[in-house]
Amino acid sequence: MSVSQMQRTIAQSVSVSGYGYWSGQDVQVEFRPAPAGSGIRFYRLDLPGQPQVPAQWTYRMPTPRRSSLRCGQAEVQMVEHILAALYGLEIDNCQVWVTGAEMPGLDGSALPFVELLQQAGMVVQPVCRPTKVISQRVRLTDGDSWIEARPSALGQTVLEYHLDYGPANPIGRQMFRTILTPETFCREIAPARTFLLRQEAEALLAQGIGVRSQPEDLLVFDQHGPINNHLRFADECARHKLLDLVGDLALAGCRVVGELVAFRSGHRLNAELVQILDHLATEDRQCMKQCA
């Protein structure tokens, strides 16, 4: 059986502290090793009984501009960057212990989480990784936005995102495409940061949201470009949308093989696609046979 088909967890516990972009509340996140087959689970240290929230699409809770999960009375918000880091590094099982509802924004990307998990090291577990293969074309639309899943001729996970803010906008039109592997994720996707327009930021601040965040903490665009910041990639915004897609893809609870192409898609369409793929995608029979 190929090592690449085996499940993985981290070798030791690691932690990071920060504050949530939306709430401004301090929070600590500790990643702990987890048994094979247990998946990714969040644990709320600050709540009685330390309730857990599985990272699965069935527990998704609709929230604006971010991905959130709820199980019973316990919820965790803005989980997409953490989930992207775990999925991108092919970590199948991990306990994520948190001291608050909202995950820390850090630098607005998944890179700090990736570097932390790399420091923890990886352990291969003697259980086959669950994998589902996209076997037919599926397309979801919402106005001008859409996302499509297609079979992959080469048996790879291919991601493509088209961003369109119009030619007169500082963000403009961007497209990024890549084959998802741990190497490409760390190099091409993980460093891409959260972004928004100045008028969007001002509207949130007027509602008392994001008052602790500064333009240096993420990408805030005015008509001239990022305010008090510099781009890591010319197409960083499109790459960040792929980062979000990877995080939402983690809610499938397995590896997904296929080609995913999105045009102005967000968290809601991403999650709806994952739900449909959970029913339509077929299990990787070769992997299942080798694990038998």
Active site residues: 267
What would the DSSP string read from start to end of the chain? --GGGEEEEESS-EEEEEE-TTT--EEEEEEEE--TT--EEEEETTSTT--EEE-SGGGEEEETTEEEEEETTEEEBS-HHHHHHHHHTT---EEEEESSSBPP-TTSSSHHHHHHHHHH-EEEEEEEPPEEE--S-EEEEETTEEEEEE--TTS-EEEEEEEE--TTSSS-EEEEEEE--HHHIIIIITTPPPEEEHHHHHHHHHTT-STT--GGGSEEEETTEETT---SSTTHHHHHHHHHHHHHHGGGSSEEEEEEEEES--HHHHHHHHHHHHHHPEE-HHHHHHH-
Q: How far is CA 212 from the centre of its chain?
A: 23
